[in-house]
Amino acid sequence: MSDYAELLKQQKENFLSGATKSVSYRKEQLKKLKQLLKENEEALTDAVHMDFKKPPFETFGTEIGLVIGEINYALKNLDEWVKPEKVPTSIVNFPSDNYILKEPYGTALIISPWNYPIQLTLLPLVGALAAGNTAFIKPSELTPHTSGALSDLMALYFPQDLVTVTEGGVETSSELLAMDFDYIFFTGSTRVGKIIMQSAAARLIPVTLELGGKTPCIVDETAELEISAKRIAWGKFVNAGQTCVAPDYLLVHPSIKEELVGYLKTAVHSLYGDDPEQSEDYSRIIDQNHFQRLTPLIENGDLVLGGQTNAATNYIAPTIIDNITWDDPVMQDEVFGPILPILTYSDLQEAVTQIRKAPRPLALYVFTSEDDTEKFFLENVSFGGGAINDTIAHLGNHHLSFGGVGTSGFGSYHGKASFDSFSHQKSIMKKNFLVDIPIRYAPYEGKMKWLKTIFR
Ligand code: NAD
């Protein structure tokens, strides 16, 4: 038996012992996770900085702080979430009591990507623990400092029959995917999502897939352009564009394009100064492979901002490219880097038709002052979730569930949705022995007319 198989066996035994099920135990674990984050904030921040020079402010705001916020929310609401949900009976089952129990699946496998290496690993863990599961975590091999720190810290704060971190790449993932987990929560690319789902299908393991896609960002002629530009520049260049819900491309009304580009340039300058390479507030590309994948995309269209690169440090400046067509290479796959292509649309129907030609995106943003424009996109484009007049911000509200649709994934989490994702809904009907209506029992002769009066 491999080490992983032995660890999984231990987790299964722990789960079956019932130890993880009491609400007080779950809360204790959530508090421990919060303690881990608070006591090791600096070490974790340093680790992410070593991995891709992520600014400490962003590490707290988009990773550690976000997870602490989710833990606090779960601690406050868990008593309510775990309660059996009472539902009415149906006429054919009168009288009976009906309710839905929220039952943990058991042992959960969480596979996470590199781009928000703390948040995307620990937010699912909050859901798994709140729902009473044990968890195996496989963080990304592309952030070795953060994954190593998480592995060391988890081992210090949690028994391994409750939470285990297994470091490694594809081989480790593949070994874990061949094992008998009760739930798989995967965040990563659509390509690997398909591999995960195939493996899960072989054992009929339920999955949540949080995947990627090309997120459109539409700006119409009624938008307040200066504020729009700031919010777009922030959402695109935070984490150096390596955000699953970053605006992938701009689709703008031609009448305001020049003015918007002017404001975008100003916004980028105010974020990162004259030379973003010198800014402490700007991240690097995660590795050479992604650097090599991204740099040719700068050649598309006409460069209006940035374009500078430094292969030695995986630096790509915040870059804007104009006069892009739908057929350009930059429009074929998720950009996932600090390159913002600009396209134009002549009318809203054309914009929607073009967006619909691509797979359904994880997010969509519309900048407009017109309610009808907002409504038109919301009603006519299928996408995971999004924002009107902002970018990325919807992720920071745990009252909004977060997830994709189509090739950007399925299932959702954040807030109560995380608890629900890691819980099986066990529906129960309870009857008494006092009443036993005979209509369902054979012989059926003469009973059809009664049955038909029920289902008229
Ligand atoms: P990835 O799919 O390459 O890797 C994700 C995880 O899967 C890593 O832990 C990796 O080790 C593992 N993995 C890689 N190849 C595998 C294989 N063949 N078999 C099994 N496991 C394998 O993704 P990434 O490059 O780390 O992250 C970027 C992608 O993730 C982007 O497409 C982005 O949009 C997406 N993403 C989505 C969300 C979301 O919430 N929907 C969040 C962040 C990133």
**DSSP calls for 385-432:** EEEES-SSGGGG-TTS-B---GGGEE--BSTHHHHHHTEEEEEEEE--
Does any ligand 1 atom lie closer than 6 A to the CB of residue 412? no
Q: Rounded to the nearest 5 degrees, what angle is found at the Cα of 191, between the Cα atoms of 341 and 152? A: 100
- Is residue 435 one of the residues assigned to a domain? no
Does any ligand 1 atom lie closer than 6 A to the CB of residue 246? no
Q: How far is CA 56 from CA 60, 261, 280, in A?
A: 6, 29, 9
Residue 244 falls in the annotated catalytic set: yes
- For the chain, the domain total comes to 2
Q: How confident is the model at residue 446 (pLDDT cuts 50, 70, 90)?
A: very high
Best residue for ligand 1 mutational test, from 66, 140, 141, 166 (most atoms within 8 Å of Cβ):
140
Across the chain, what does the average pLDDT equal? 97
Q: How confident is the model at residue 454 (pLDDT cuts 50, 70, 90)?
A: confident
Give yes or no for a contact between 81 and 107, defined as CB atoms under 8 angstroms apart: no
For range 305-329, the mean pLDDT:
98
Catalytic residue among 58, 63, 70, 244: 244
Give me the residue label for tokens 């022995």.
Answer: 433
Please tell me whether residues 92 and 17 are part of one structural domain: yes
Please tell me whether residues 271 and 161 are part of one structural domain: no
Please tell me whether residues 15 and 164 are part of one structural domain: yes
Please tell me whether residues 324 and 340 are part of one structural domain: yes
Does any ligand 1 atom lie closer than 6 A to the CB of residue 405? no
For range 195-208, the mean pLDDT:
98
pLDDT, tens digit (0-9, with 9 covering 90-100), for 213-236: 999 999 999 999 999 999 999 999
- What's 128's domain CATH number? 3.40.605.10
Catalytic residue among 58, 63, 210, 334: 210
Residue 445 falls in the annotated catalytic set: no
> Is 1 a residue whose pLDDT tops 60?
no
How high is the pLDDT of residue 31?
98
Does any ligand 1 atom lie closer than 6 A to the CB of residue 420? no
Domain with 51 in it: 3-211+406-428
- Is residue 229 one of the residues assigned to a domain? yes
pTM of the model: 0.96
- Closest-CA residue to 37 (of 25, 45, 28): 45
pLDDT, tens digit (0-9, with 9 covering 90-100), for 388-429: 999 999 999 999 999 999 999 999 999 999 999 999 999 999
- Is residue 456 one of the residues assigned to a domain? no
Q: How confident is the model at residue 66 (pLDDT cuts 50, 70, 90)?
A: very high
- Closest-CA residue to 384 (of 183, 234, 248): 248
Q: Is 32 exposed, middle or buried (0-12, 13-18, 19+ CB in 10 A)?
A: middle
Residue 206 CA to ligand 1 center (angstroms) comes to 18
Residue 264 CA to ligand 1 center (angstroms) comes to 30
- What's 338's domain CATH number? 3.40.309.10
Please tell me whether residues 223 and 139 are part of one structural domain: no
> Is 90 a residue whose pLDDT tops 70?
yes
Please tell me whether residues 189 and 333 are part of one structural domain: no
